[in-house]
A and B are shown apart, each in its own frame.
Chain A
Amino acid sequence: MNDKPYNNRAWFLVLPVLGFVLFSALLPMMTVVNYSLQDTMGNNHFFWNGDGWFRDLLNPSTEMGARFAGALVRNLAFSFAALAIELPLGIALAMCLPRQGFAVGLSLVVIALPMLIPWNVVGTMWQIFSRQDIGLFGAALTGIGLHYNVTQDPVSAWSTILVIDVWHWTPLVVLLSYAGLRAIPDAYYQAARIDGASRWAIVRNIELPKLQKVLVIAVLLRFMQTFMIYTEPFVVTGGGPGNSTTFLSIDLVKIALGQVDLGNAAAISLVYNLITIVICWVFYTIMTQLERRGQETVVVA
């Protein structure tokens, strides 16, 4: 049956890719691993430090451990806050969008517009926008008597970064949800009307269950992006005031490039990377499980 030629030389065709991956990922990664196990006093003179950096890092009673734990907690809190706002808002917006006519294209383009703006431009825009003296947003809030100051007040700084992320990335959730909603056959809505279902019953029993898969993707994408957020706090708050908006990536850059503390930075990079991979893996597992459960119904439907 299988009369295809069997030739192991075909493996040589993989070599270019291997070479590429070697230079793009493996070698830089091993450099980081190398740094994370050594210490230096400068002059390109390194000596062995074993798992010292890691033990420091994962022990919150040390200075570096406390700093890392703080940034991690802030980052997780930020991710959850962003998701808690963006998911319901995105789904709600998608449900309000028109289903036919030229209004579909128009509203999709208008909604997708923020996503097309580069991160640093967004940051710069909002930095000016939130200034108390000349920024429309900042001046308006101050004008109505709110205490708003991005550079001095942690609450202002935090909420501004959050608002930026919501403004920038809710459209992604909207687009994903809208695509998911459009994939629901009309018969479901017709049947629900005939069954006398309320709007909320339709959302709960038809729309949300059918959106489950795209929502898992939306959660995964948004979580990863917010977990790696860098540009917005870097441009708008610089991680401050104090360290209130110092998220993991900001802290990492401060340690690696500001303090040129290569050992600590390398250890943080690796742990940071590991957390990201673990979370990805958990989401991937959930997604494939859903897929498998979904397939049982697809095969017979």
Chain B
Amino acid sequence: MARITLDGVGHAYGTARGGAPSYALKPMHHVWEQGRAYALLGPSGCGKTTLLNIISGLVIPSEGRLLFDDRDVTRLPTEQRNIAQVFQFPVIYDTMTVAQNLAFPLRNRKLDPGAIRQRVAEVADMLNLTADLPRRARGLTADAKQKISLGRGLVRSDVAAVLFDEPLTVIDPSLKWELRSKLKAVHRALDLLMIYVTHDQVEALTFADEVVVMKDGAVLQIASPAALFERPEHTFVGYFIGSPGMNLVPAEISGSLAHVAGQTIQLAARFGALQGSTVLGFRPDYTQLARGGGLSVQIRRIEDLGRRRLARVSVGPHEIFATVPEGLSFEDDRAGLLIDPAHLFVYADDRIVDGRQERDVAV
């Protein structure tokens, strides 16, 4: 049980031509607290597995320091770090029974046999493996094997952290929900720091207290699932979280006005001169289609998703998703777009920019 501190940790596999290191993981500073569940979320190749392997010690970072509480473990080998990790594909010891598999990490650490038996029974009970305990591990299904891998990750109660590297990839979809809620329950019961790598946002959002969104070797935002949805700090977070993702429309910002394809939108705040390309971001969930008023748009298509209706509309060359209020219908393809100003954000070079509140300026 520990707090993990990433102090400038970064990793480059060799250096690019010209001397600048080519980072798989850009140097970062973060503190991850004991007892919380973190999900590393991002597309393939974003560096999330590299970060996980740095924490577990399978990769030694090319720069920075890694601390467990106040202990520097940057160069410590895996076996001395007191960490548990579950891999994408089930890793089981073929020749052993399920019980022996679960006991293996404890036996290697020379625990008392009575304590091992008790702990194995607890973990097996947690994962519904009790009936399989005396069976040979090699004959089981992939689901059961991955449950054994999970069990080996959870069997040590004294670990600094439990790491999961996309552990539910091979699991049958109907079992995924069950296992995910199991993991959540285990997390609550054991009070462990858990780090969970995934590229599935549903998995990340349901499992984690805090989601670490990564792209191109950099952390874009660390926040609760709600905060990621309500206030994405990076356009990629807005786009990646939510289905469909955030609308991102290039706009020119001057003062408290935004100009989009010849039309003007009133912003809730005033902005100074902004560097780089500026983009307006607003979620379809906070954007409503109306008969008139607001931004005048052309309807491309309205999709009935059952629970709600979603419209694809266009403003000049830009495409936007918006919610269609219940009962509303349109005679032609002209409509108005109403954006909730509290959920309308301005991004400059993909990073969120905070304006000054209009009333502050007025005073």
Q: Contact: B93 with A301, CB < 8 Å?
A: no
Minimal beta-carbon separation of B320 from chain A (angstroms):
44
Q: Contact: B90 with A195, CB < 8 Å?
A: no
When chains A and B are docked, how far (Å) is the Cα of A241 from the Cα of B141? 59
Q: Contact: B95 with A194, CB < 8 Å?
A: no
Write out, one digit per residue, whether chain A residues 204-227 have a CB within 8 A of any chain B CB (1) or not (0): 011001100000000000000000
Q: Which of B52-72 contact A (CB under 8 A)?
A: 56-58
Q: Which of A182-210 contact B (CB under 8 A)?
A: 185, 187-188, 190-191, 193-198, 201, 205-206, 209-210
When chains A and B are docked, how far (Å) is the Cα of A300 from the Cα of B91? 13
Note all chain A residues with C-beta closer than 8 A to B91: 185, 187-188, 191
When chains A and B are docked, how far (Å) is the Cα of A281 from the Cα of B46? 53
Q: Contact: B94 with A193, CB < 8 Å?
A: no
Note all chain A residues with C-beta closer than 8 A to B96: 205
B121 interfacial contact with A, CB 8 Å? no
Note all chain B residues with C-beta closer than 8 A to A300: 140-142
B85 interfacial contact with A, CB 8 Å? yes
Note all chain B residues with C-beta closer than 8 A to A297: 94, 138-139
Q: Which of B78, B83, B87, B141 contacts A187 (CB 8 A)?
A: B87
B331 interfacial contact with A, CB 8 Å? no
Note all chain A residues with C-beta closer than 8 A to B104: 195, 197, 205
Q: A197-B104, A201-B108 are in contact. Are A301 and B142 (CB under 8 A)?
A: yes
- Chain B, Cβ-Cβ closest to A188: B91
Note all chain B residues with C-beta closer than 8 A to A191: 85, 87, 91, 149, 152
Q: A196-B79, A205-B96, A296-B139 are in contact. Are A185 and B89 (CB under 8 A)?
A: yes
Q: Contact: A196 with B94, CB < 8 Å?
A: no
When chains A and B are docked, how far (Å) is the Cα of A226 from the Cα of B94? 32
Note all chain B residues with C-beta closer than 8 A to A296: 139
Q: Which of A190, A195, A301 contacts B152 (CB 8 A)?
A: A195
When chains A and B are docked, how far (Å) is the Cα of A187 from the Cα of B108? 18
Q: Which of A190, A197, A209, A210 contacts B58 (CB 8 A)?
A: A190
When chains A and B are docked, how far (Å) is the Cα of A234 from the Cα of B326? 97
When chains A and B are docked, how far (Å) is the Cα of A185 from the Cα of B104? 19
Q: How large is the interface on B (under 10, 10 to 19, 20 to 34, 35 or more residues)?
A: 20 to 34
Note all chain B residues with C-beta closer than 8 A to A195: 104-105, 108, 152
Q: Contact: B108 with A209, CB < 8 Å?
A: no
Q: When A and B form their complex, what is the total count of cross-chain residue pairs whose Cβ atoms lie within 8 Å?
A: 62
Q: A191-B87, A205-B93, A297-B138 are in contact. Are A197 and B108 (CB under 8 A)?
A: yes
Minimal beta-carbon separation of A181 from chain B (angstroms):
15
Write out, one digit per residue, whether chain B residues 76-116 have a CB within 8 A of any chain A CB (1) or not (0): 01110001110111110111100000001100110000000
When chains A and B are docked, how far (Å) is the Cα of A187 from the Cα of B153? 14
Minimal beta-carbon separation of A278 from chain B (angstroms):
29
Q: Contact: A301 with B85, CB < 8 Å?
A: no
Q: A193-B78, A196-B108, A197-B104 are in contact. Are A301 and B94 (CB under 8 A)?
A: no
Q: Which of A185, A193, A206 contacts B79 (CB 8 A)?
A: A193
Q: A187-B87, A194-B85, A195-B104 are in contact. Are A206 and B109 (CB under 8 A)?
A: no
When chains A and B are docked, how far (Å) is the Cα of A190 from the Cα of B78? 9
Note all chain A residues with C-beta closer than 8 A to B105: 194-196
Q: Contact: B85 with A190, CB < 8 Å?
A: yes
Minimal beta-carbon separation of B56 from chain A (angstroms):
7
Write out, one digit per residue, whether chain A residues 157-197 have a CB within 8 A of any chain B CB (1) or not (0): 00000000000000000000000000001011011011111
When chains A and B are docked, how far (Å) is the Cα of A215 from the Cα of B78? 31
Q: Contact: A198 with B108, CB < 8 Å?
A: yes
Minimal beta-carbon separation of A295 from chain B (angstroms):
11
- Chain B, Cβ-Cβ closest to A208: B95
When chains A and B are docked, how far (Å) is the Cα of A197 from the Cα of B109? 9
Q: Which of A21-78 contact B (CB under 8 A)?
A: none
Q: Which of B270-304 contact A (CB under 8 A)?
A: none
Q: Contact: A194 with B77, CB < 8 Å?
A: no
Q: Contact: A209 with B141, CB < 8 Å?
A: no
Q: Contact: A210 with B94, CB < 8 Å?
A: yes
Note all chain A residues with C-beta closer than 8 A to B83: 194
When chains A and B are docked, how far (Å) is the Cα of A43 from the Cα of B77? 82
- Chain A, Cβ-Cβ closest to B77: A193
Note all chain A residues with C-beta closer than 8 A to B149: 191
- Chain B, Cβ-Cβ closest to A191: B91
When chains A and B are docked, how far (Å) is the Cα of A191 from the Cα of B149? 9
Q: Contact: B93 with A206, CB < 8 Å?
A: yes
Q: Contact: A194 with B79, CB < 8 Å?
A: yes
Q: Contact: B95 with A209, CB < 8 Å?
A: yes
Note all chain A residues with C-beta closer than 8 A to B89: 185, 187, 301
Note all chain A residues with C-beta closer than 8 A to B57: 193
Minimal beta-carbon separation of A97 from chain B (angstroms):
22
Q: Contact: A301 with B90, CB < 8 Å?
A: yes
Interface residues of A (CB under 8 A from B): 185, 187-188, 190-191, 193-198, 201, 205-206, 209-210, 293, 296-297, 300-301
Q: 17 A-B pairs, CB-CB below 8 angstroms?
A: A190-B56, A190-B85, A190-B87, A191-B87, A193-B79, A194-B56, A194-B79, A195-B108, A195-B152, A196-B105, A196-B108, A205-B96, A206-B93, A209-B93, A209-B94, A210-B94, A297-B94
A-B CB proximity, top 5 nearest: A196-B108, A191-B91, A195-B105, A193-B78, A187-B87
Q: A197-B108, A210-B94 are in contact. List 7 more A-B contacts (CB 8 A).
A: A190-B87, A191-B87, A193-B77, A195-B105, A297-B94, A297-B139, A300-B141
